[in-house]
């Protein structure tokens, strides 16, 4: 099973920071996952929330702040407030960190709430500049974004993100038909909807399943029996050690 570090080693260190990513380098895992947004001055930065308030000692939207302003903020994570590796990194910094490795980088486009202009194109151009097209997966809750990624660079793998709420209120057949039309490689699904029925539906359509967020041994073992292809976890060090034993 593919083990992917959700926002880095985020169960122990501040999420989506260089420290959390560096702590993954010596782990026997498939890759890491991160979230990308854009600053006021059009830099690609790695942060999950549209606002900085939860994770950092500031307030406001990422889209309304410059890179300099964002990187002046300190982490809200206890004991890491003054750590220089716990600032908001750029996407380029993270990609360069992992370029010498075999890690796959799952880049989630955070544009379902804030519609960043040219986000897909900016990300793809950076990936191409670093010659990492075969090293990334681009994921999004917006199929329109995945279509843009496909047009810009068909060789880059794509993953359609499905939340519990979306799955409940949309026609299930629509989800699969959209993913197939996009020629997505993956469906990234919430743990709550990833049952045997859902898994079989995906596999019959040649769609691999990456399940989020799996943080207990019980959840992992259940998904392993159901033959899920991969998981996102905040504790990749713990889950990967179990995965190695099996």
pLDDT over 70 percentage in the chain: 96
Q: Which of 36-45, 128-137, 178-187 has the lowest mean pLDDT?
A: 178-187
Q: Which listed residue (43, 48, 147, 203) is catalytic?
A: 48
Domain that holds residue 46: 2-245
6 as an active site residue: the answer is: yes
**Distance between CA 200 and CA 215 in Å, rounded?**
23
Taking each continuous run of H as one helix and of E as one strand, the counts in the chain are 10, 9
Count of domains observed in the chain: 1
Nearest to 95 by CA among 32, 39, 158: 32
43 as an active site residue: the answer is: no
Answer for the pair 36, 108: CB distance below 8 angstroms, yes or no: yes
**Distance between CA 164 and CA 153 in Å, rounded?**
29
What CATH number is attached to the domain comprising 187? Answer: 3.20.20.190
pLDDT for position 245: 67
Answer for the pair 18, 71: CB distance below 8 angstroms, yes or no: no
pTM equals 0.96
Q: What is the pLDDT of residues 97-128, one digit of tens each?
A: 999 999 999 999 999 999 999 999 999 999 99
Bigger pLDDT: 165 or 97?
97
pLDDT for position 127: 99
| Tokens describing residue 45 | 């930065």
Q: Which listed residue (6, 43, 147, 203) is catalytic?
A: 6
Note every long-range contact of 207-211, with CB atoms under 8 Å and residues 24 or more positions apart, other chains counting: 207/176, 207/179, 207/180, 210/2, 210/4, 210/106, 210/159, 210/186
pLDDT for position 164: 80
């Amino acid at each position: 099973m593919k083990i992917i570090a959700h926002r880095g080693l985020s169960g122990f260190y501040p999420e989506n920071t260089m420290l959390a990513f560096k702590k993954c380098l010596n782990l026997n895992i498939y890759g890491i996952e991160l979230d990308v947004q854009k600053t006021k001055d059009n830099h690609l930065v790695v942060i999950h929330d549209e606002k900085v308030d939860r994770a950092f000692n500031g307030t406001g939207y990422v889209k309304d702040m410059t890179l300099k302003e964002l990187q002046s903020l300190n982490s809200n994570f206890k004991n890491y407030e003054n750590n220089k590796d716990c600032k908001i990194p750029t996407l380029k910094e993270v990609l360069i960190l992992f370029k010498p490795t075999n890690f796959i980088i799952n880049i989630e486009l955070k544009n379902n709430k804030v519609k960043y202009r040219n986000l897909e194109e900016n990300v793809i151009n950076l990936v191409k500049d670093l010659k990492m097209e075969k090293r990334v997966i681009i994921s999004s809750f917006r199929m329109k974004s995945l279509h843009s990624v496909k047009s810009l660079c068909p060789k880059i793998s794509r993953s359609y993100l499905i939340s519990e709420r979306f799955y409940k209120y949309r026609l299930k057949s629509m989800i699969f038909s959209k993913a197939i039309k996009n020629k997505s490689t993956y469906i990234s699904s919430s743990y709550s909807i990833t049952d045997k029925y859902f898994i079989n539906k995906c596999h019959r359509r040649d769609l691999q399943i990456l399940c989020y967020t799996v943080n207990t041994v019980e959840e992992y073992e259940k998904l392993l029996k159901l033959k899920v292809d991969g998981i996102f976890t905040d504790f990749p060090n713990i889950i990967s050690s179990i995965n190695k034993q099996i």
